[in-house]
Amino acid sequence: MTSDTTSKFGLGTWSQRLLAAVFLGGQAMVHLLRGKIHWRNTREQMAAVGPDSLFIALLTAVFVGAVFTIQVAREFINFGAGNLVGGVLAVALTRELSPVLTAVILAGRVGSAFAAEIGTMRVTEQIDAMLMLRTDPIDYLVIPRLLACCLMLPILTLLSLVTGMLGGLLISTSMYGISDTMFLDSARNLLGSWDILSAMIKACCFGMLIAVIGCSWGLTTTGGAKGVGQSTTTAVVTALLIIFVSNFFLSWIMFQGTGSALLQGF
């Protein structure tokens, strides 16, 4: 591999494309404030992001809730705190697991599709044709995907939360003898309205990041079919990295100080 090729796909190029994604996000926000929304494309993208991703998101949530309950219940029962299992699962799913894991699924499934589709349009000069026809790619391609991710990811997160709780409930009642009433009462006592709201805020932020990164990597694709494949892979990796980094800062902002949720369960 030559030095030119190394620099082309190295850290410098990645940083430039990440900066381009930041500018693209700013442009999309300006266009949104001006009300430039292509509603037909938006509905199509909402169907692709939401219903088409529902099964895999719910299936993942069931097993995540079940595994988390297995790991937590056995230890809590040993300490005589079996009545807290449902609440701890609810808090963990709401604050972290549901929004993050659902975003990871969409980054792999939807973010890659955005980068591949728009990248193919770029290398086949369809984007240039749109510009010649005075059609703004941001209005026609980026904003519908941005709106679809920001609207559908919170809904998928809520459904994943419910499904994850169901998986935990089945495990706790069948394997550890915890009654469903105790499980659900614990969840209701420990879970607060701010926990649900924070999950929706996180999901909306993650959806925006997935859409912007996928679209930006697609729009900056070069090098034909090989470039499309590299853009798709890099877009997914970048989206996952940004999701985890932003999750840290969002959690740090939302949940500072000493928590008191567990005290409410006793």
Q: In a 10 Å sphere around its CB, with 0-12 CB exposed, 13-18 middle and 19+ buried, how is residue 159 labelled?
A: middle
Separation of alpha carbons 195 and 85, rounded Å: 17
Residue with the bigger pLDDT between 115 and 259: it is 115
Is the distance from CB of 243 to CB of 209 less than 8 angstroms? yes
Which pLDDT value is given to residue 258? 63
Which pLDDT value is given to residue 3? 42
pLDDT, tens digit (0-9, with 9 covering 90-100), for 11-23 = 888 889 999 999 9
Average pLDDT over residues 242-255: 93
pLDDT, tens digit (0-9, with 9 covering 90-100), for 200-232 = 999 999 999 999 999 999 999 988 888 899 999
CA 40 to chain CA mean position, Å:
23
pLDDT, tens digit (0-9, with 9 covering 90-100), for 32-50 = 888 778 888 999 999 989 9
Q: CA angle 33-123-112, nearest 5°?
A: 65
Burial of 79-113, coded b for 16+ CB within 10 Å and e otherwise, reads: eebbbbbbbbbbbbbbbbbbbbbbbbbbbbbbbbb
Q: SS3 for 49-93, per residue?
A: HCHHHHHHHHHHHHHHHHHHHHHHHHHHHHCCCHHHHHHHHHHHH
The pTM of this model reads 0.88
- On the question of pLDDT at 131 being above 90, the answer is no
Question: Domains of the chain: which residue ranges?
Answer: 17-252
Give me the count of residues in the chain.
266
- The alpha carbon torsion through 30, 32, 37, 43 (nearest 10 deg) reads 130
Low-confidence winner among 63-72, 129-138, 145-154 (lowest mean pLDDT):
129-138
